[in-house]
């Protein structure tokens, strides 16, 4: 009886220990079920990103309504974000509690972090190729594109280590939105592709003021000729154009190099003249552009509906709008004959769950978002392009592109020009290597520009000593070590939390107790036998 | 002995489970889950490389604390040191906090000041702090960024809302920027939702958001209409003001309190909505 009691206690202890790990319960790898169980109800959560654009919200809602019409036993709960970083932070938090969404809009950089957990994100190969439920599968209740109807470059961008962890949802790039009226007023002719030299020259020229402190070009007290929204992209594209180091495919860090320094010195020179600022420091480029307070605004093509005097979306009051002609060009280039620009935009990943049926339901919804109707509807909301060739070649989409500028909303000229920019340059796009830590490296690239810009604005000296300290500080902040390889997590994670220390201590004490009990029992038994022998 | 051992093991089991199931709410989510990767958005420490906490604060004899007038007169992008009182906390994330603060003379919006989670918990309403940072402007909002702070024990101050209703639409309004203010007897005006319907409020500025997002609503006085917001980081969907705004009807007469935030013009962060006093 006593032995049984001790065994029960030991078993209970084991259970307690296991239950203590509830937040990190491991899920087995996913296998595609042979059939979707239509007798069961499923509720899947979809964390989506919109660009603070109600048209996009409507597309998501319509997609859900149509999907649930086809699959009445699958309910989709939409949670909207306006920021990829917030989705990333929430996913990380929810991985630890086992409460990840089913489907999530994301960047491949972020997936690289998600998959460091065990079976957290579902590899999609077996789903994609499943003859019944895969892309173009026979058992689908909708017309899905086949695997070879996804733009191959975009599909490949969602592979990590050769494994397909995501599907592309939409693609965009960055565009240079130009106040052409002011460029010409300054005596320049806008080329088809702007070089970095051109943009700095014109920007410097636009900083001239009159005796009252008003800028000659706009007669206002405010003029920031060149504003860049995403400084990480600014650095990444500059380095790519110059064929300089950023990172290797395997995660070796090459960012902190002499070319990076030269780029930063150039930026510093023009910040000093008042020719350049950033979104983080000043505000949205569109607000300055539309108020006639900026000439060159670089932002995503997915921000095109905010750009220009007649932009359908605006954050500034009408009395601040200035009339000008908006040109939509590729981002500035070092070699305009061989333009290079980033490929970006939302992708979709599926989180693994205990129930493979739930994962299959998630996959079906994910796939539904690739149908022509959804792809074209979402692409029309901004300067995005669909990720399937079927949508690209559809009559509806081609007609949409041909209708550029016929109205100021659905066919807003700047927006469709931005989409065309990417369609015409798909072969000139690139993505950065994805690895665990690539998101940090991206942030670090932008931070270098932000820091230099701030320092110049604050009257600090930017020289070799400054650069050395900057590289060191940013590498430290983003845990990029001196050797160029991301530091291992262990040293950076800090001391164990108190709860973990208590847990481990208790387990150790419990084992001491169990072993002590067994030894004590053995000794008593031996003593008893000795006494019996006597 | 066996009974003792059993009790000991049971006690250990209980402690183990308690430890394992402890409150994880305060865990750093970036170290949660797979735990191998921490990615910040650059806000973990101030951009100027200053470290968090009181160690970096100079001794009192070296510090020249500015009055509000001196702060207001300071050029943008210059270093400022102010002593001010916490009125409300907007958010904490990755060791930085955003605070609404005010002294007897004026208000200071403190954006992403370096702040440990422990220190953030100490920042109750009225707490006096000394902030060292840089004066900056973002979309018209004057703020202190890249800063550090220390708590100054003893003295406290909680501002009374200043009625600025009559200043709406005037150039003087900006002089009260960031202060705790009130608006009296304003009328709720329609906004247009995603389906083109006239409604009393919107989730997000254009109706593209959902429950939990910022609430935008229009209010008018003297024939002019203004856009006010319930900032969801400051007042989330569990707060009274969030519910109050969701219950508004077009045409309602209301009184409001909030912080006089700026985004491309006046954009108050509302913390209280009540029916207008007769």
Pick the residue of A115, A503, A504, A525 with the most B CBs within 10 A to test the interface with B by mutation.
Answer: A503
In which band, very low, low, confident or very high, does the pLDDT at A531 lie, cut at 50, 70 and 90? Answer: low
Cα distances (Å, whole numbers) of residue A12 to A256, A503, A515, B87:
54, 15, 16, 50
Please indicate, yes or no, whether residues A338 and A354 belong to a single structural domain of this protein: no
Rounded CA separation A442/A24 (Å): 28
Statement: residue A307 has pLDDT above 50: yes
In a domain, A136, yes or no: yes
Distance CA A307, CA A18 (A): 55
- Tell me: do A156 and A185 sit in the same domain: no
Q: How many interchain CB pairs under 8 A, A with B?
A: 202
Q: What are phi and psi of A12, to 5 degrees?
A: -60, -40
Which residues in chain B are closer than 8 Å to A10, comparing Cβ atoms?
Answer: 9
Residues 158-217 of B with CB under 8 A from A: 193-194, 204-210, 213
For residue A504, what pLDDT is reported? 58
Report d(CA B176, CA A395) in Å as an integer: 56
**Percent of chain A surpassing pLDDT 90:** 79
Q: Which residues in chain B (49-108) have CB-CB distances under 8 A to chain A?
A: 49, 77-79, 93
Residue A508 clears pLDDT 70, i.e. is over it: no
Neighbours of A68 (CB within 10 A): 14
- The answer on A352 and A322 residing in a single domain is no
| Burial class of B184 by CB neighbour count within 10 A (0 to 12, 13 to 18, 19+) | middle
pLDDT of residue B29: 28
- pLDDT single digits (tens) A139-174: 999 999 999 999 999 999 999 989 999 999 999 999
pTM above 0.90, yes or no: no
Asked if B41 reaches chain A (Cβ–Cβ under 8 Å), the answer is yes
Residue A269 dihedral angles phi and psi, to the nearest 5°: -60, -40
Shared-domain flag, residues A303 and A189: yes
Mind listing the pLDDT tens digit for each residue in A364-384? 999 999 999 999 999 999 999
Alpha carbons B216 and B227: distance in angstroms, whole number = 7
Q: In this predicted structure, what is the pLDDT of residue A118?
A: 79
**Containing H/E element for A469?**
helix A464-477
| 8 Å CB contact of B33 and A92 | yes
Are A375 and A447 members of one domain? no
Measured between beta carbons, which residues in chain A are less than 8 angstroms from residue B39? 88, 113, 437, 439-440, 443, 478
Q: What is the mean pLDDT of chain A?
A: 89
Does A103 fall in a domain?
yes
- A199/A276 Cα distance (integer angstroms): 10
Q: Is residue A266 part of a domain?
A: yes
Mean pLDDT, range A258-262, rounded to an integer = 98
pLDDT at A13: 43
Residues in chain B: 278
Q: Are A315 and A304 in contact (CB under 8 A)?
A: no
Residues A214 and A312 occupy one common structural domain: yes
Residue of B nearest to A119 (CA): B34
Residue labelled with tokens 């930026």: A267
Chain A residue whose CA is closest to B39: A440
Calpha distance B187→B200 (Å, rounded): 11
- Output DSSP code: residue B51: P
pLDDT at A406: 97
Report the C-alpha dihedral over residues A128, A130, A134, A135, rounded to 10 degrees: 70
Distance CA(A190)–CA(B142), nearest Å, equals 36
DSSP B165: G
Query: What is the per-residue pLDDT for B8?
Result: 54
Residues A364 and A282 in one domain: no
Residues of A in contact with B37 (CB under 8 A): 112-113, 116, 436-437, 439-440, 489
Average pLDDT, stretch A126-147? 96
Question: Residue A399: inside a domain, yes or no?
Answer: no
- pLDDT at residue A482 in the model: 47
User: Is there a single domain that holds both residue A332 and residue A373?
Assistant: no
Identify the domain containing residue A164 by its residue range: 35-168+346-383
pLDDT in tens, A63-93: 999 999 999 999 999 999 988 888 999 999 9
| Mean pLDDT in residue range A385-409 | 97
**Whether residue A358 sits in one domain with residue A316:** no
- Is the model's pLDDT at A528 over the cut of 80? no
Task: Point out the least confidently predicted range of A23-37, A253-267, A501-515, B28-42.
Answer: B28-42
Evaluate whether A326 touches A312 at the Cβ level (below 8 Å): no
Instruction: Please tell me the distance from the alpha carbon of residue B201 to that of residue B229, in angstroms, as a whole number.
Output: 9
Asked, for residue A132, whether it belongs to a domain, the answer is yes
Q: Could you tell me which of A348, A369, A350 has the C-alpha nearest to residue A70?
A: A369
Q: Is residue A304 part of a domain?
A: yes
Among A180, A187, A189, A198, smallest CA distance to A332 is for: A198
pLDDT of amino acid B233: 95
Interface test with A, best of B6, B36, B75 (most A CBs within 10 A): B36
CATH number for the domain that contains residue A318: 3.40.190.10
**Per the domain annotation, does A323 fall within a domain?**
yes
Is A163 in the same domain as A182? no
Q: Which residues pair with A178 in a beta bridge?
A: A296, A327
Polymer length in residues for chain A: 534
What was the ipTM of the complex prediction? Answer: 0.79
Within 13 Å, how many C-alpha atoms sit on residue B187's CB side?
A: 10
A197, pLDDT greater than 80: yes
Reply yes or no on whether the pLDDT at A45 is more than 90: yes
DSSP string, B112-162: EEE--HHHHHH--TTEEEEEEEEEEEETTEEEEEEEEEEEEEEEE--PPPE
Reading phi first (left if > 0) and then psi (alpha if -120 to 50, else beta), residue A193 is in beta
- Average pLDDT score over residue span A19-43: 76
Find out whether A343 and A431 touch, Cβ atoms under 8 Å: yes
Are both A300 and A442 inside the same structural domain? Answer: yes
Per-residue confidence of chain B (278 residues) as pLDDT tens digits? 555 555 555 555 555 444 444 333 333 322 322 222 322 233 333 333 333 333 334 445 567 999 999 999 999 999 999 999 999 999 998 899 999 999 999 999 999 999 999 999 999 999 999 999 999 999 999 999 999 999 999 999 999 999 999 999 999 999 999 999 999 999 999 999 877 899 999 999 888 888 999 999 999 999 999 999 999 999 999 999 999 999 999 999 999 999 999 999 999 999 999 999 97
Mean pLDDT confidence for A38-50: 95
Residue A372 and residue A323 share a domain: no
B interface test, pick of A16, A95, A440 with most B CB neighbours within 10 Å: A16
- What is the set of domains in chain B, with CATH numbers? 54-156 (2.40.50.140), 162-275 (2.40.50.140)
Residue A119 has pLDDT above 60, yes or no: yes
CA of B45 vs chain A CAs: smallest distance (Å): 8
Taking a contact as any Cβ pair under 8 Å apart, which residues of chain B between 234 and 253 contact chain A?
none
Structural domains of chain A, count:
3
Cβ contact (<8 Å) for B13 and A510?
yes
pLDDT at A507: 64
CB contact under 8 A, A20 and B22: no
CA distances B91 to B82, B118, B130, B236, Å, are 21, 13, 19, 11
The alpha carbon of residue B156 is apart from the nearest alpha carbon of chain A, in Å, by 32
Residue A30 inside a domain? The answer is no
């Amino acid at each position: 009886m006593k032995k049984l009691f001790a065994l029960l206690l030991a078993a209970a202890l084991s259970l307690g220990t296991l239950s203590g790990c509830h937040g990190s319960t491991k899920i087995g790898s996913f296998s595609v079920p042979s059939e979707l169980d239509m007798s069961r109800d499923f509720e899947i959560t979809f964390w989506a990103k919109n660009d603070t654009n109600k048209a996009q919200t409507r597309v998501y809602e319509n997609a859900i309504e149509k999907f649930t019409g086809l699959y009445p036993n699958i309910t989709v709960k939409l949670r909207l974000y306006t920021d990829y970083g917030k989705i990333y932070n929430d996913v990380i938090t929810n991985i630890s509690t086992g409460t990840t969404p089913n489907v999530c809009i994301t960047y491949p950089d972020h997936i690289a972090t998600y998959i460091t957990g065990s079976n957290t994100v579902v590899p999609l190969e077996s789903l994609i190729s499943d003859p019944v439920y895969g892309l173009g599968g026979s058992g689908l209740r909708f017309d899905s594109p086949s695997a070879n109807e996804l733009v191959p470059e975009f599909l490949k961008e969602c592979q990590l280590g050769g494994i397909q962890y995501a599907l592309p949802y939409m693609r965009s790039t960055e565009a240079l939105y130009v106040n052409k009226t002011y460029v010409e007023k300054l005596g320049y002719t806008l080329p088809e592709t702007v070089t970095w030299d051109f943009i700095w020259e014109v920007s410097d020229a636009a900083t001239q003021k009159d005796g009252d402190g008003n800028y000659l070009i706009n007669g206002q007290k405010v003029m920031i000729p060149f504003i860049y929204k995403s400084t990480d992209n600014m650095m990444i594209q500059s380095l790519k154009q110059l064929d300089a180091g950023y990172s290797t495919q395997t995660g070796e860090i090459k960012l902190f190099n002499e070319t990076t320094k030269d780029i930063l010195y150039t930026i510093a020179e023009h910040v000093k003249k008042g020719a350049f600022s950033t979104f983080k420091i000043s505000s949205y480029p569109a607000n300055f552009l539309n108020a006639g307070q900026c000439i060159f605004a670089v932002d995503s093509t997915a921000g095109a509906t905010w750009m220009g005097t007649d932009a359908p979306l605006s954050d500034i009051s009408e009395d601040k709008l200035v009339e000008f002609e908006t040109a939509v060009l590729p981002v500035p280039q070092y070699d305009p004959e061989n333009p290079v620009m980033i490929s970006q935009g939302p992708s979709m990943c599926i989180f693994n769950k205990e129930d493979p049926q739930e994962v299959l339901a998630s996959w079906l919804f994910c796939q539904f978002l690739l149908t022509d109707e959804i792809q074209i509807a979402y692409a029309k909301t901004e300067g995005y392009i669909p990720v399937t060739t079927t949508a690209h070649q559809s009559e509806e989409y081609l007609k949409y592109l041909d209708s550029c500028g016929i109205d100021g909303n659905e066919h807003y000229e700047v927006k469709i020009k931005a989409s065309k920019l990417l369609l015409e340059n798909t072969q000139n796009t690139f993505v950065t290597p994805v690895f665990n830590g690539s998101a940090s490296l991206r942030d670090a690239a932008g931070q270098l520009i932000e820091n230099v810009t701030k320092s110049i604005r604050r009257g600090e000296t930017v020289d070799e000593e400054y650069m050395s300290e900057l590289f060191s500080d940013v590498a430290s902040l983003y845990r990029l070590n001196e050797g160029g390889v991301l530091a291992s997590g262990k040293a950076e994670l800090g001391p164990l939390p108190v709860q973990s220390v208590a847990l481990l201590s208790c387990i150790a004490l419990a084992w001491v107790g169990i072993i002590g009990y067994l030894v004590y029992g053995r000794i008593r038994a031996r003593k008893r036998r000795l006494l019996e022998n006597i | 002995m066996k009974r003792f051992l059993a009790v000991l093991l049971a006690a250990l089991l209980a402690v183990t489970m308690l430890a394992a199931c402890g409150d994880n709410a305060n865990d750093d989510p970036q170290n949660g889950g797979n735990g191998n990767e921490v990615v910040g958005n650059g806000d973990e420490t101030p951009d100027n490389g200053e470290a968090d906490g009181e160690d970096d604060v100079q001794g009192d004899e070296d510090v020249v604390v500015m009055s509000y007038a001196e702060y207001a007169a300071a050029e943008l992008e210059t270093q400022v040191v102010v002593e001010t009182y916490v009125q409300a906390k907007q958010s904490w994330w990755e060791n930085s906090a955003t605070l609404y603060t005010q002294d007897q003379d004026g208000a200071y919006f403190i954006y992403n000041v370096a702040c440990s989670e422990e220190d953030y918990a100490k920042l109750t309403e009225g707490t006096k702090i000394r902030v060292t940072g840089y004066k900056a402007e973002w979309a018209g909002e004057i703020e202190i960024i890249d800063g550090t702070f220390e708590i100054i024990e003893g003295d406290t101050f909680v501002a009374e809302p200043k009625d600025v209703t009559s200043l709406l639409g005037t150039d003087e309004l900006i002089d009260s920027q960031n202060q705790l203010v009130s608006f009296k007897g304003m009328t709720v005006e329609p906004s247009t939702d995603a389906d083109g319907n006239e409604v009393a409020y919107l989730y997000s500025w254009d109706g593209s958001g959902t429950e939990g997002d910022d609430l935008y609503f229009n209010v008018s006085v003297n024939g002019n209409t203004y856009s006010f917001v319930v900032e969801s980081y400051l007042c989330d969907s569990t707060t009274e003001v969030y519910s109050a705004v969701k219950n508004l009807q077009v045409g309602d007469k209301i009184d409001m309190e909030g912080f006089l935030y700026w985004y491309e013009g006046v954009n108050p962060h509302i913390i209280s909505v009540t029916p207008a006093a007769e």
